[in-house]
Amino acid sequence: MQADRKRRLQVLVQNGLFVVLLAAAVALAAFLAREYRVEKDVSLNSRNSLSPASMDVLRQLQGPVTVTSYSSPQDARLGNPRRATRDFLEPYLRVKPDIRLEFVDPRVEPGLAAAAGIRVNGEMVVEYNQRSGHLTELSESSFVNLLMRLARSGERLVMGLEGHGERRLTGIANHDLGEFGSQLQSKGFKVAPLNLALAQEVPANASVLVIASPQTDLLPAEVAKIKSWLARGGNLLWLVDAEPLRGLQPVAEALGLVLSPGVVIDPEAAGVSRSPAMAIGAAYGRHAITAGFRLQTLFPFARQIGTVDSGEWRTTPLVDVAPRGWVETGKLDAKIAFDKGREVAGPVTVAVALERTVEDRAQRVVVVGSGHFLSNTFLGSGGNLDLGVNIVNWLAGDDTLIALQPRPTLDSGLDFTRPALYAIAFGFLIALPLALALTGAAVWWRRRRHRS
């Protein structure tokens, strides 16, 4: 009897200890789940999580971001736009918890919606740094680009030299830079043309002057205005194709550039079904523009960019190409080959950054040996756009906004032709049920025969 009572007491103590330990384990698990979060996005292109570049932009924002969604709880076309907005902002809140989300029903408060300039149900107004912008598309690229525009302090004016057949920042031709100009505008830059035959000088409020492959000679007075701009500490992006400088030789001399003739030949580019004159970025220099840059870039018909160390400019090579190639000075035909006696072997530098101090202010210049690099035709090649935006951000002094652009979301939808839809419907609605029925009937018939 005593033994049974002792055994029951032991079992009771063990059960009680088990309950206490179980409760402690559950409480500890709840605490760890609240304090720590481990996630892994296994979707195609990691489309359900933010890119590292987007997270870098969010971490650089000092202070809260307010998002006001002008949306109704239910919409016949959109379903529940408020839920869609919450779901969209959830990964951003994990990186930047001080994003505040507010909702306003435009049907209940039409005055507030009209005052905010709301045009569609679900439109958002994003406020940061005493500036605001509208967002109508729930996409990572649109939202992060808007945050970059709001974070940019003051106006950044990028002026493209025109009047000599240059690649225009607003042009739509294949050789123009119109798509690149549009991307700059989406990131808060103002883009404008500049004709130095009419303007007295490069405007003082210009952040960056872009010279992109003029096709006719500049007048001496125009060249003098560009040199004056550089002497005052102006920032310059110069895209130099493998062709004559069109009167800009004095500018090259002022920058200490050595622009030898010839086109870079890259055998590795030919190996991926491209022309050997399409040089692929092989190595990036240690510079703010290329820090952490890992994307492939393409420099069509590039020329070598050399510099002379005069002690005036601090020079950094940005991009080297063609480690197994050379600079071809002859004709680009099927018989091109390296001439060891008179041609330069790779790797070849095709982009450099120059910096100096003028009147206690940093002056910045980037020279790229390929105007095609940012043209409408080749802008989408690999990381050309990302590198181009990084260059302009650095030239404009927005070093903190230098980052890879948010990745595009791959199309995850499937488009079927009408015959394919009919075939799928026939297969699932008729053929598959009929096959299952026939299989069941055959099994029943065989069992019946065995029993009989």
Same domain, 93 and 130: yes
| Of 22-31, 119-128, 198-207, 326-335, highest mean pLDDT | 198-207
CB atoms within 10 A of CB 182: 15
What's residue 274's pLDDT? Answer: 67
CATH classification at residue 92:
3.40.30.10
* CA 177/CA 166 separation, integer angstroms: 10
Same domain, 131 and 159: no
Task: Out of 92, 119, 149, pick the residue that ends a domain.
Answer: 149
Q: Express each pLDDT in 387-403 by its tens digit.
A: 999 999 999 887 766 65
Give 32's pLDDT tier (boundaries 50, 70, 90): confident
Same domain, 380 and 240: yes
Angle at 212 between CA 207 and CA 216, to 5 degrees: 125
Does 192 score more than 90 pLDDT? yes
Same domain, 297 and 392: yes
**110 domain residue, yes or no:** yes
What is the DSSP code (8-state) at residue 372?
Answer: G
Q: What residue spans of 36-80 are helical by DSSP H?
A: 52-60
Number of domains, the chain: 2
Give 410's pLDDT tier (boundaries 50, 70, 90): very low
- Report how far apart, in Å, the C-alpha atoms of 154 and of each of 47, 151, 161, 322, 403 are: 33, 9, 22, 40, 19
Among 66-70, 112-116, 384-388, the range scoring the smallest mean pLDDT is 112-116
Task: Out of 99, 118, 149, pick the residue that ends a domain.
Answer: 149
Same domain, 258 and 132: no
Strands (E), 28-64: none
Same domain, 48 and 194: no
Does 357 score more than 60 pLDDT? yes
Q: Express each pLDDT in 215-229 by its tens digit.
A: 999 999 999 999 999
What's residue 444's pLDDT? Answer: 80
Q: What residue spans of 47-177 are helical by DSSP H?
A: 52-60, 81-95, 110-115, 140-151
Q: Express each pLDDT in 326-343 by its tens digit.
A: 888 878 776 777 777 777
Domain that residue 98 falls in: 44-149
Same domain, 318 and 379: yes
**76 domain residue, yes or no:** yes
**407 domain residue, yes or no:** no
Q: Express each pLDDT in 104-126 by its tens digit.
A: 888 888 888 888 888 888 888 99
**169 domain residue, yes or no:** yes
**30 domain residue, yes or no:** no
**3 domain residue, yes or no:** no
Same domain, 145 and 160: no
Average pLDDT, the chain: 85
Does 157 score more than 90 pLDDT? yes
CATH classification at residue 262:
3.40.50.880
Does 42 score more than 80 pLDDT? no
Mean pLDDT of 319-329: 89
The answer to whether the CB of 298 falls within 8 A of the CB of 377 is no
Mean pLDDT of 276-296: 88
Does 68 score more than 70 pLDDT? yes
